[in-house]
Amino acid sequence: MREAGEAAALGIPAVLLFGVPADKDEEGSGAWDDEGIVQLATRAIKDAHPELLVIADLCLCEYTSHGHCGVLRDDGQVDNDQTLDLLARTAISQARAGADAIAPSDMMDGRVGHIRAALDDDGLTETPIIAYSAKFASAFYGPFRDAAESAPSHGDRRGYQMDPANGREAVREAVIDVDEGADIVMVKPALPYLDIVRRVRDAVPVPVAAYNVSGEYAMIKAAAGAGYLDERTAVLEALTSIRRAGADIVITYHAKDVAGWLRAEQ
Ligand SMILES: [Zn+2]
């Protein structure tokens, strides 16, 4: 609530919520709990700051005891199709709580179409989907995973996240997500994947979001803290490069700093 209030006061248009529940289980049932952490936070923020857009990240990995993004089969692999139903349930619960947009980050095959159909069936036809379409298996998620306590307890997410070497697959996935009903597609991370941002921008008719992830943020913060970089100049240059590459929307942990700097200049 405090963070959201600060963001709203600075003129930041939207916040993206990730849940860190008190309890985790095998299925990640906290994700679709109507009294879950994201549902409660969404209601509270929309009550206090109706103009601030609340986007709900949709995945199970913050809620599962094993830290994977879906239900595990006996062989330890994620069961794609079983996971789709749980994601749809979660999307409906988040939208009913007042989320302005649902952002599936799980990378299961077919999830955008599945979630779209479930939202429509529930009368939530106006709730847009922001798809994490090109989410790479990246080393740059490290600081976030520590904060969200969501690192997988065994194995990794390479089975369902993208190979950093495979640019064509990223573009293909974005096109598929738009065909399935995504209203906005996302590339994540941003700075090591600016070429992907541009290629996706050129390939789809919908807005493209780029996620400037925690490791990208931490690198600049650490370098600035050590006196190697001027923080403000480096941040503005990095974010400008993301926009130049074609991102219509930038998701960044630098948001409050940047909003403050830009405001002071006016
Ligand atoms: Zn996940």
Least confident piece of the model among 76-80, 190-194, 244-248: 76-80
Rounded mean pLDDT, 180-192: 98
CA of 233 to the centre of ligand 1 (A): 32
Confidence class for position 143, pLDDT limits 50, 70, 90: confident
Report the CATH number at residue 207.
3.20.20.70
Confidence class for position 149, pLDDT limits 50, 70, 90: low
List the one residue out of 22, 9, 92, 18 whose CA is nearest residue 54: 18
Q: What's the pLDDT score for residue 228? A: 98
**Percentage of the chain surpassing pLDDT 90?**
86
Q: Is residue 221 annotated as part of the catalytic site, yes or no?
A: no
The two three-digit tokens of residue 20, written as one number:
């860190």
- What single letter denotes the amino acid at residue 254? H
Rounded mean pLDDT, 55-64: 95
Strand partners, 54: 15
pLDDT greater than 80 at residue 147: no
From edge to edge, which strands make up the β-sheet containing 101-104? 14-17, 53-58, 101-104
Q: What's the pLDDT score for residue 150? A: 63
Domain that holds residue 142: 2-265
Q: CB–CB of 94/43 below 8 Å?
A: no
Catalytic residue among 24, 46, 135, 221: 135
Q: Is residue 256 annotated as part of the catalytic site, yes or no?
A: no
Query: How many domains are there within the chain?
Result: 1
Please report the sign of the dihedral spanned by the C-alpha atoms of residue 153, residue 142, residue 70, residue 53: positive
Verdict on whether the full-model pTM lies above 0.85: yes
CA of 61 to the centre of ligand 1 (A): 4
CA of 20 to the centre of ligand 1 (A): 12
Q: What's the pLDDT score for residue 265? A: 80
Confidence class for position 91, pLDDT limits 50, 70, 90: very high
Average pLDDT score over the chain: 94
Q: CB–CB of 95/119 below 8 Å?
A: yes
Q: What's the pLDDT score for residue 164? A: 94
Catalytic residue among 24, 46, 188, 221: 188
Q: CB–CB of 60/36 below 8 Å?
A: no
Confidence class for position 106, pLDDT limits 50, 70, 90: confident
Q: CB–CB of 62/18 below 8 Å?
A: yes
